């Protein structure tokens, strides 16, 4: 039976590359995009190659949008094998002294409440799959171990919103994994923590040293885990990453 996957923020960057790579394996792709035009353009690119792709209008900050997304996916399938919570917002790199609750709230709405909104809404479809998997696209910047290592450039980036949102997402991943052993909940960082590398995308103005294909390696690994694979882990493309 073919696998199906919903990818939030699937219209570009790592989300689109994950969609492209999983479609190469014959998967049905539900390509989430908050902007319908950009989503359609991305879905058309895959469809041109013969992929079974459905563009799903999906703004992870909106309950209504998420509800509509569930309705649309349900019209095509009665189960979802994999959910990739990929959509992310970098925030404005506001320093701790200048950060306000509003600044944090905007970033958390996408990076923390977004994955919870989408996961909660899609749990029934995930539970209907034989061995469901949820991949949380987190960041090394949200790792306490990375932030405790002065050799990591992330420690010199003095901002609050993005890093703490990804730390929250890491804990949320662990808590889901503990409570739902029937679903694999794992987190990735798209870079190479040991080599202090990340993937070149719009989010970092293409300053990353890795390609999007390299950046999606851990996403693909966790999306395609065997039924006896791990849950509650955090990895990059080289292996396990410390929380």
Catalytic residue among 12, 162, 176, 197: 162
- CA separation for the pair 140, 196 (Å, rounded): 9
Q: 15 or 132: whose CB is closer to ligand NAP?
A: 15
User: Shortest gap between Cβ of 169 and ligand NAP (angstroms)?
Assistant: 9
Is 108:180 a contact under the CB 8 Å cutoff? no
Residues making up the chain, counted from first to last: 243
User: Shortest gap between Cβ of 35 and ligand NAP (angstroms)?
Assistant: 5
Whether 162 sits among the annotated catalytic residues: the reply is: yes
Catalytic residue among 12, 108, 166, 176: 166
Q: 132 or 190: whose CB is closer to ligand NAP?
A: 190
Helix, coil or strand: residue 220: helix
Q: 131 or 155: whose CB is closer to ligand NAP?
A: 155
- CA separation for the pair 25, 33 (Å, rounded): 22
Q: Interface with ligand NAP by CB under 6 A: which residues?
A: 8-9, 11-15, 34-35, 38, 58-61, 86-89, 110, 137, 139, 189-191, 198-199, 201-204, 208, 215
Whether 176 sits among the annotated catalytic residues: the reply is: no
CB-based burial label for 38 (10 Å; 0-12, 13-18, 19+)? middle
Residue with tokens 């923390």: 112
Is 21:222 a contact under the CB 8 Å cutoff? no
Q: 11 or 170: whose CB is closer to ligand NAP?
A: 11
Residues annotated as catalytic (active site), given as ranges: 162, 166
């Amino acid at each position: 039976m073919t696998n199906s996957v919903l990818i939030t923020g699937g219209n570009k960057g790592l989300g689109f590359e994950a969609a492209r790579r999983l479609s190469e394996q014959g998967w049905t792709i539900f390509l989430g995009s908050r902007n319908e035009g950009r989503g359609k353009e991305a879905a058309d690119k895959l469809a041109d190659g013969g992929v079974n792709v459905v563009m799903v209008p999906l703004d992870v900050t909106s309950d209504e949008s998420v509800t509509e997304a569930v309705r649309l996916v349900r019209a095509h399938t009665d189960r979802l094998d994999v959910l990739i919570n990929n959509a992310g917002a970098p925030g404005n790199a506001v320093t701790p002294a200048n950060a306000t609750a509003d600044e944090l709230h905007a970033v958390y709405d996408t990076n923390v409440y977004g994955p919870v909104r989408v996961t909660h809404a899609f749990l029934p479809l995930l539970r209907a799959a034989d061995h469901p998997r949820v991949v949380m696209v987190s960041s090394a910047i949200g790792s306490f171990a990375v932030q405790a290592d002065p050799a990591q450039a992330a420690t010199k980036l003095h901002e609050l919103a993005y890093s703490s949102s990804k730390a929250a997402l890491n804990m949320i991943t662990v808590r889901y994994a503990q409570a739902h052993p029937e679903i694999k909940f794992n987190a990735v960082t798209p870079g190479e923590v040991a080599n202090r590398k990340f993937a070149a995308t719009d989010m970092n103005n293409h300053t990353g040293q890795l390609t999007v294909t390299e950046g999606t390696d851990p996403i693909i690994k966790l999306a395609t885990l065997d039924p006896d694979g791990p849950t509650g882990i955090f990895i990059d493309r080289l292996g396990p990453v410390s929380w």
